[in-house]
Amino acid sequence: MSPHLKGSCLCGNIQFEYTGKLGPITQCHCNQCRKSNGTAFAANSQIEKSQYKIVAGKDLIREYESTKGKFRAFCNYCGSPIYSRRDSLPDKLRIRLGLLDTKIEKRPSFHIFVDSKAEWHEICDEIPRYPELEPGR
């Protein structure tokens, strides 16, 4: 277990700490994650907002409402995606694991939105794949 995680954006101005448990790591292949990260998929994990703290650079965070009620937060200076949040889930955030500076033991649990996957990307692991959201969400 990682009791205390630290992370930062590309320019380093935004720094955060998290003391809670990471939710399952999902590799999301949806169009929005691909575009907002510029990659084949995003690696995201749901966390408890109450245990997440921006310790530097809070004033650089901008939010883009990518779907009604869903906001994607990013660094206004370097463009790193920081987290997403939903009005319907006020106690949760979904962080982008590429921003972590602390090493973690946890490994990805599944792929989601595989139906929207980039045609040039091949999934080469054995974890479950779901066409859209994972069951139960």
Positions in the binding site for Zn ion (CB under 5 A): 9, 11, 13, 28, 30, 33, 75, 77-78
How far apart (Å, rounded) are the C-alpha atoms in residues 124 and 108? 13
Question: What would the DSSP string read from start to end of 33-54?
Answer: HHHHHTSS-EEEEEEEGGGEEE
How far apart (Å, rounded) are the C-alpha atoms in residues 13 and 55? 10
CB of 3 to Zn ion, least distance (A): 26
In the numeric block, which tokens belong to residue 70?
């869903």
CB of 23 to Zn ion, least distance (A): 14
Nearer Cβ to Zn ion, position 5 or 28? 28
Nearer Cβ to Zn ion, position 3 or 7? 7
CB of 100 to Zn ion, least distance (A): 15
